[in-house]
């Protein structure tokens, strides 16, 4: 890719967004690492300054239309183009459906799904007008292809993102705009720290309390086990591969666990796959 190509990454304060923004900048992209809270920009700014990377931090809250518009206006004013958008901002919400309030579910969708829509809708006119197209990368999850207990809201947002991405890939193809879905499995990030446990799910009297606790333990164990999880740098490498490709795939699974789960989902019956999920997350 040429050095003048411009990338915008949401949710860049840590984890996948952090590593993706840095890797794009290290490979010549004029990169805007966006985040809701600029107080969390110290680490990425220090690295960018030390390595003299073409990276700057910009404030962008995906649930605030004004914030989104102002951030994208800034990028376009300074570069006249946006070649890559990485929709990464999101968080997890733990709890069985009965324990989730409508407000908690709406908030989950507002960030994970409508946030991606809000940013994409602002970027698309820019990509169309620049005639050279562009690439929209949506960070989904292996949870966008299957559901597990106590993550119904989170998985719903990722299923929605998968359907959205597949649909708009047809709409945008005539304009040379590619759409890519990245589907990570267990990634060693601070996702458990940034996840929210639903209020009712924290109550020991909930009939689903032990189920949610078991899921939390399973996730923490996977994060600590390097054979069961992948570093966020692996996701960043796949994003870079996809945006550099002249003909990227629609979907990229990241991590051996993601690939094996997706393979199992496509080859097993629903009953067989359900047994696998119960064994893995409810044992």
CA distance 28 to 45: 17
The yes-or-no answer on residue 80 being catalytic is no
Q: Which of 209, 87, 98, 216 is nearest to 152 (CA)?
A: 98
Task: Judge contact between 137 and 17, C-beta under 8 A.
Answer: no
Can you state the angle between helices 209-224 and 270-281, rounded to 10 degrees? 80
- Exactly one of 32, 34, 150, 158 is catalytic; which is it? 158
Beta strands in 125-232 (DSSP E): 134-139, 177-184, 196-197
Q: In the structure encoding, which two tokens stand for residue 140, read together? A: 């989904």
Record the tokens describing residue 68, joined without a space: 């989104």
Options 14, 34, 150, 154, the catalytic residue: 154
Asked whether the beta carbons of 115 and 39 are under 8 A apart, the reply is no
Q: Do 122 and 76 meet the contact criterion of CB atoms below 8 Å apart? A: no
Active site residue 140: yes
Question: Any idea which residue has 């300054």 for tokens?
Answer: 49
**Which residue out of 12, 13, 14, 140 is catalytically annotated?**
140
Is 195 one of the annotated active-site residues of the chain? no
- Say which residues have a Cβ less than 8 Å from residue 217's Cβ, sequence separation at least 6: none
Backbone dihedral region for residue 49 (phi beyond 0: left; psi -120 to 50: alpha; all else: beta) = alpha
Contact 108, 101 (CB under 8 A): no
Q: Which residues pair with 136 in a beta bridge?
A: 85, 179
Q: How far apart are CA 186 and CA 223, in angstroms?
A: 7
DSSP-derived letter for residue 223 is H
Q: Which residues are catalytically annotated?
A: 140, 154, 158
């Amino acid at each position: 890719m040429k050095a003048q190509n411009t990338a915008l990454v949401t949710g860049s304060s840590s984890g996948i967004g952090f590593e993706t923004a840095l890797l794009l900048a290290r490979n010549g992209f004029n990169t805007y690492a966006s985040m809701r809270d600029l107080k969390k920009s110290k680490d990425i700014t220090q690295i960018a300054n030390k390595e003299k990377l073409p990276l700057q931090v910009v404030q962008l809250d995906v649930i605030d239309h004004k914030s989104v518009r102002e951030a994208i206006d800034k990028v376009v004013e300074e570069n006249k183009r946006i070649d890559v958008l990485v929709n990464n901002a999101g968080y997890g919400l733990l709890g069985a459906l009965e324990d989730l309030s409508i407000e908690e579910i709406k908030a989950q969708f507002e960030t994970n799904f409508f946030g991606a829509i809000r940013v994409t809708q602002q970027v698309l006119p820019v990509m169309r007008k620049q005639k050279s197209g562009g690439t929209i990368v949506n960070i989904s999850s292996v949870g966008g292809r299957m559901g597990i207990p106590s993550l119904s809201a989170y998985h719903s947002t990722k299923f929605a993102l998968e359907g959205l991405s597949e649909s708009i890939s047809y709409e945008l193809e005539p304009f040379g705009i590619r759409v890519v879905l990245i589907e990570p499995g267990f990634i060693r990030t601070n996702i458990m720290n940034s996840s929210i446990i639903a209020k009712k799910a924290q109550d020991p009297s909930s009939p689903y309390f032990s189920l949610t606790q078991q899921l939390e333990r399973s996730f923490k164990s996977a994060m600590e086990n390097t054979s069961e999880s992948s570093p966020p740098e692996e996701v960043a490498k796949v994003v870079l591969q996809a945006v550099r490709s002249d003909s990227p795939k629609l979907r990229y699974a990241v991590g051996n666990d993601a690939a094996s789960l997706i393979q199992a989902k496509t080859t097993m019956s629903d009953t067989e796959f359900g047994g696998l999920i119960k064994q893995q997350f409810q044992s």
